[in-house]
Structure 1
């Protein structure tokens, strides 16, 4: 519709200009005539060279005997008419009554052009919304139909609790008497809260597909425009449309764009966003009831929303949509792999186990990357190798085999990564080692990846200390092999990760007896300041915090160093194996440490090592893998996915 209005506007403007051009040009002969002096015209009349003449006020248009058109201007006191008649020239005269209309159109043309340009730019500023330039106060909510791709609850997996709460809303819309006979009222709003990519918008589309009622969708940013009052007007219009189609559902995506806490803006009480929010609050729960209109909104910033928006009666239900657990990830992979032909060796549960912390969008991207890799090499279906390569690419970055490394750089990287792997295999509470490689990926020259067996929701002090030891093992390995004077900048990522974990233990988690059970992070970093409710800490406390952080890191480094000294032969064998094979996965690492050659046709495709050496018990697990970083393959904290 917007394109049709733009085309119509430009067509009308073109026709108007064309009509005015034709009007001003008269018969069009003037533009095609040759202008001559009046004296030459008189001489031509006397010679008999003029066949016909048209007198239009002072303008005389005449045709020569050769058919050429001429134009001249006669003086006011010239008596040319009788001379033309005497010489047998056919004379015509044109009325001057149209000159007034022409003058009016000439004076009106600038205003018409100015109005047309204003309408065009107003339409552009409002994004071609309903009603064009005069409809910028109308709602931009669009009704979602099955033509745009019907999604049902069968397409949603991994968030069963959230799905159950929303299924109840759909059931209420289908059979309201089932709930009303017991005094139940339909919820006025449901707020979907969760990290990006967890499926909030997908859930809303599933509601639309299942409910069988009109479903309007709009973004929070569509309410706020440059004109004061436009947002509030659009809220009113949206609810008017919804009431006409009740029962219906209105989905507002990214509601934090308009629902932020009042008083925090720069415009004070006259802020356009706050006026829009006030109108939304009144429409959701004011004097007038909106029976049968359910508002579903999504955000990943619940902390910035206005408290009045979150109270019962506005958003009665706040549905948390978290990252899926291992069972949820397996179901999500099954949903996204429906249209992907899978090979007989693909084990979705093993893939789900190796992707802790992945959201639904991350898993969809993983399946897509695996399909692209399989298509690139010409396979007819996607194999487990494709999934493993896609997982490595997503988690660690693409391989950089074109990077030229010297033998010395490769050797240092191999001993560095072998140190991480040996300490990780030795300490019982470290995650099982999944893969060690000295192939550059992303910004790292090598890395060791550890994956958990099950999802973990908390951390214990002993686990954190052992993770610190595994993190510092890279630097300990370089010093043991090459000495203090030849240490490189490879452990830079290790030190960054260890510092972050140690500071969290001391300043947030109360794992230091000297510092105590006080959260010092915000005050220490200066995030909030006294004006926002923060507090300052003394120099003595800051010094104590730094001492405790350094103590934890130093003790972990010494622990890693002692393990490598004790198991030096295994460590060096593993480093030599990395230099020879570049990448070792699963049980291959354990076999190389024992002095046996790795099996190239490993059946499990690189499953994490779940067995420690016989003198060490099987480890417990943690929720996320470590990613390799640093110029020489040091580890760095993994960003949340």
Structure 2
């Protein structure tokens, strides 16, 4: 009623002032400025965006379950345990357990952090409100802090409406508002973060409804220490890239509703997708189905899955028209990578491909025979040799390198710097910050020079394999790992030279 009364009264007042001969220009100007400030601070004006409705962040009902998330068994167990404290608060109290206030999910992109939060809400049978950290970033002081307060009000109102006694708030990309405070003049960010800290401090462990905050980030190192201390985000759960067993579970879930050929070996696909995230594995299954659809194939075959892996890993096949001389050079280059990889790490080569894809004119897809998380000096040197092998092969057969080795050299130098940083070089245990650029470059040059010569000597022995494989790769533009291994180990001339 007040709003309607004002709408009717304002024109009457303006007409009266005009009748009295009063200049209303300054009054209208001040009123306009006041209205703009009011609506901006409430998120309704042209600068503040649209004011969110009460249910703007609400995900009405989460249908995701933990069973639908492949792998991540440890992470799922820790998350379930934290929720059990919500569901069985009296039992937790009997044990003297202080219920957790916040759970921080960290890990690379695409590993399922958002899915985990949705599954947690389903498992908890709780009201679920989700928001992204970027929604709280505003140029006007106080707006972000107000939105944080609104978020906590929303989840409490939602629990009342649904007659629940617990709620979950999920904040994705929390590093957008929870970055380290370093004394810079970023008052809006500081106020938003301070408000979040205040709200978390105000969450009494015995109040109703009980609220649990789940946040996700790819950059835990950027977060302010005040967020990470016990009593706020009490538990930090790493949602990491899936291992072999987890990849098989994820692929099985995503292929379940697709017409996959019974001959398809999911175990082999899991091996071929080393280093893939859950999101990438879902994309592999989807792209394989698209390839089958294009060909009107009744089932998804291993050829479709192999093409999907290449697409997710390297990008879409391009229409680049290479000259015959370029194709020959690329064939030698990729065979060099494949030979060194297979000699140093048997059964690691999955495909040797001469078809342009993404930014590459050819590539070797490798599948490590075993998953390794701890590397010795020898392991890293082998990886560097695989990177250098393409350029060395070009030197052997063409007398010079080409620009196609640029990415190979970048990877090799990353491995070299990792060796130096981890104390595996001749410099011993050092801190990179305490070394000059000249010292680092001198050590890197020594390592690269030594491994270039070692790679050169190795590849010279396999000249017969190059000539056996070269024409096949040039004609067919693709060679699988098994066929390549037959050519590599079946050549008697190589055995004699070795």
Shared fold, TM over 0.5: yes
- The equivalent position to 2:412 in structure 1, one of 498, 501, 505, is 498
- How far off is 1:431 after superposition? 6.5
Q: How does 1:539-558 map to 2 (within 5 A)?
A: 542-558=437-453
Distance 1:101 1:300, change over 3 A: closer
- How far off is 1:173 after superposition? 2.9
Report SS of the residue matched to 2:99.
coil
Report SS of the residue matched to 2:350.
strand
Report what 2:243 is aligned to: 325
- The equivalent position to 2:330 in structure 1, one of 413, 416, 430, is 413
Report what 2:106 is aligned to: 193
Identify the structure with the greater helix proportion.
Answer: 2
Distance 1:405 1:278, change over 3 A: closer
Per-residue CA deviations over 1:61-91 (Å, capped at 9, x if unaligned) read xxxxxxxxxxxxxxxxxxxxxxxxxxxxxxx
Per-residue CA deviations over 1:384-429 (Å, capped at 9, x if unaligned) read 21110000111123333x43333222222222222222222223x4
- The equivalent position to 1:259 in structure 2, one of 169, 178, 181, is 178
Report what 1:530 is aligned to: none
- For the pair 1:143 / 2:58, whether they are aligned, the reply is yes
- The equivalent position to 2:50 in structure 1, one of 128, 134, 155, is 128
Q: How does 1:365-514 map to 2 (within 5 A)?
A: 365-400=283-318, 402-427=319-344, 429=345, 432-483=348-399, 487-506=401-420, 508-513=421-426
User: Quick check: 1:172–1:186 contact (8 Å CA) kept in 2?
Assistant: yes
Q: How does 1:300-315 map to 2 (within 5 A)?
A: 300-315=218-233
- For the pair 1:518 / 2:430, whether they are aligned, the reply is yes
User: Quick check: 1:140–1:222 contact (8 Å CA) kept in 2?
Assistant: no
User: d(CA) in 2 for partners of 1:102 and 1:236?
Assistant: 43
User: Quick check: 2:55–2:154 contact (8 Å CA) kept in 1?
Assistant: no
- For the pair 1:159 / 2:72, whether they are aligned, the reply is yes
Distance 1:128 1:495, change over 3 A: closer
- The equivalent position to 1:274 in structure 2, one of 187, 190, 195, is 190
Report SS of the residue matched to 2:369.
coil
Per-residue CA deviations over 1:138-178 (Å, capped at 9, x if unaligned) read x77633222xx511112222111111111123333333223
Report SS of the residue matched to 1:295.
strand
Distance 1:261 1:575, change over 3 A: same
User: d(CA) in 2 for partners of 1:235 and 1:494?
Assistant: 47
- For the pair 1:208 / 2:128, whether they are aligned, the reply is no
**Stretch deviating more after TM superposition (450-459 or 199-208):** 450-459
Report what 1:62 is aligned to: none
User: d(CA) in 2 for partners of 1:393 and 1:614?
Assistant: 36
Distance 1:488 1:235, change over 3 A: closer
- How far off is 1:358 after superposition? 1.0
User: d(CA) in 2 for partners of 1:116 and 1:229?
Assistant: 17
User: d(CA) in 2 for partners of 1:300 and 1:386?
Assistant: 32
- How far off is 1:103 after superposition? 5.8
User: d(CA) in 1 for partners of 2:204 and 2:91?
Assistant: 25
User: d(CA) in 2 for partners of 1:416 and 1:234?
Assistant: 56
Report the count of equivalent residues: 472
User: d(CA) in 2 for partners of 1:236 and 1:567?
Assistant: 68
User: Quick check: 1:144–1:208 contact (8 Å CA) kept in 2?
Assistant: no
- For the pair 1:358 / 2:272, whether they are aligned, the reply is no
User: d(CA) in 2 for partners of 1:217 and 1:258?
Assistant: 15
- How far off is 1:335 after superposition? 2.1
- The equivalent position to 2:166 in structure 1, one of 244, 247, 265, is 247
User: d(CA) in 2 for partners of 1:125 and 1:559?
Assistant: 63
User: d(CA) in 2 for partners of 1:479 and 1:130?
Assistant: 63
Report SS of the residue matched to 1:143.
coil
User: Quick check: 2:346–2:369 contact (8 Å CA) kept in 1?
Assistant: no
TM-score, length basis structure 1: 0.67
- How far off is 1:477 after superposition? 2.0
Report SS of the residue matched to 2:403.
coil
User: Quick check: 1:250–1:294 contact (8 Å CA) kept in 2?
Assistant: yes
- The equivalent position to 1:577 in structure 2, one of 472, 482, 494, is 472
User: d(CA) in 2 for partners of 1:543 and 1:430?
Assistant: 37
Report SS of the residue matched to 1:490.
helix
Report SS of the residue matched to 1:319.
strand
Distance 1:220 1:426, change over 3 A: closer
User: Quick check: 2:203–2:211 contact (8 Å CA) kept in 1?
Assistant: no
User: d(CA) in 2 for partners of 1:583 and 1:315?
Assistant: 50
Per-residue CA deviations over 1:466-522 (Å, capped at 9, x if unaligned) read 2222322222222222335xx43333333333222223212x121222x111021xx
- For the pair 1:175 / 2:107, whether they are aligned, the reply is no
**Stretch deviating more after TM superposition (389-398 or 337-346):** 337-346
Distance 1:272 1:493, change over 3 A: closer
User: Quick check: 1:217–1:251 contact (8 Å CA) kept in 2?
Assistant: yes
Consecutive unaligned residues of structure 1, counting only runs of 5 or more, are 1-8, 21-98, 132-138, 524-534, 597-612, 616-641
- How far off is 1:324 after superposition? 0.9
User: d(CA) in 2 for partners of 1:203 and 1:181?
Assistant: 28
User: Quick check: 2:18–2:24 contact (8 Å CA) kept in 1?
Assistant: no
Q: How does 1:62-141 map to 2 (within 5 A)?
A: 118=36, 122-130=44-52
RMSD: 3.3
